[in-house]
Amino acid sequence: MSAFEYLLLMGACVLITLPLELFFRARVYRRWRTVLWALVPVIVVFCLWDVVAIARDHWVYNPRFVTGIHLGNLPLEELVFFIVIPLCALLSYEAVGTVLTAVRRRVRRGSLPHTDSSPRPASRSGPHERTDRRPESEGGGER
Amino acid sequence: MSVPEYTIMTVIGMILVVGLELFVFRSGIFGRAKYWAALSICLVFQCFVDGWLTKLSDPIVIYNPQGLSGIRFPWDIPIEDFGFGFAMITAVLMLWQWRLNRHAVASGGEST
């Protein structure tokens, strides 16, 4: 199993951040087209950085903990890293946004945060709040 | 070579990303609490993930000591990795917010 250690670590990152999509309304995976816009340039540039760093001997990968599958001289694990970590960042960003919106709404209404210990925003409790923004309201037909 | 290459590339990467945000994309992330909170959270989690990758006792990634400053904190994480992480996370959030802003303008809505 140790050959999969790096990949398993990346899998753990995906699993740990999944609740942000499911329970904190990050809606990152659901806006996958916007995700592609944000991720693809970053993946390309950072893969290039990695390839240069490997070529210039800045670092190497311990053969015990990687599968040995390469794309050119880039280990598969590194490509997975450049997909997973930016996704985690997007999920964090949007989940923080959900929490901040909920907190600000409560502050505006003058109620205290401790009245509801649920981590989810109280989005269905206020009469004046924006409805959860539906994909069509964002244009671009994101799903 | 006086300054190690990975150190130089990290500093250049950070400056490039900040420059892209301030002068090209102007997504406005630097003015949002959302960005700073998410960045802080990501850097904390980076300590655990990167700490595991770089632990000198059983490293997954092995660094050439000549390529970096040699400052490792916390645990055995090369300090440069945080610059690398900052550049990558900032770049992806900048592009994401930039696209969301464009959607919002296109649909006449507000940006989140």
* pLDDT (tens digit per residue) in B6-45: 999 999 999 999 999 999 999 999 999 999 999 999 999 9
Q: Helical H runs in B26-109?
A: 33-54, 80-107
Q: A115 or A28: whose pLDDT is higher? A: A28
Q: Which residues contact A43 (CB under 8 A, 6 or more apart)?
A: A79, A82, A83, A86
Nearest CA in chain A to B96: A38
Is residue B108 in a domain? Answer: no
A71 bridge partner residues: A74
Is residue B29 in a domain? Answer: yes
pLDDT given at position A1: 66
Residue-range definition of the domain harbouring residue B13: 5-98
Instruction: Flag whether residue A82 sits within 8 Å of chain B, measured between CB atoms.
Output: yes
The two three-digit tokens of residue A69, written as one number: 């599958």
Q: Which residues 52-81 of A are in CB contact (within 8 Å) with B?
A: 52-53, 56-62, 65-66
Break chain A into its structural domains and give their ranges.
2-114
pTM for the predicted model, two decimal places: 0.85
ipTM for the complex shown: 0.94
Domain count, chain B: 1
Instruction: Flag whether residue B44 sits within 8 Å of chain A, measured between CB atoms.
Output: no
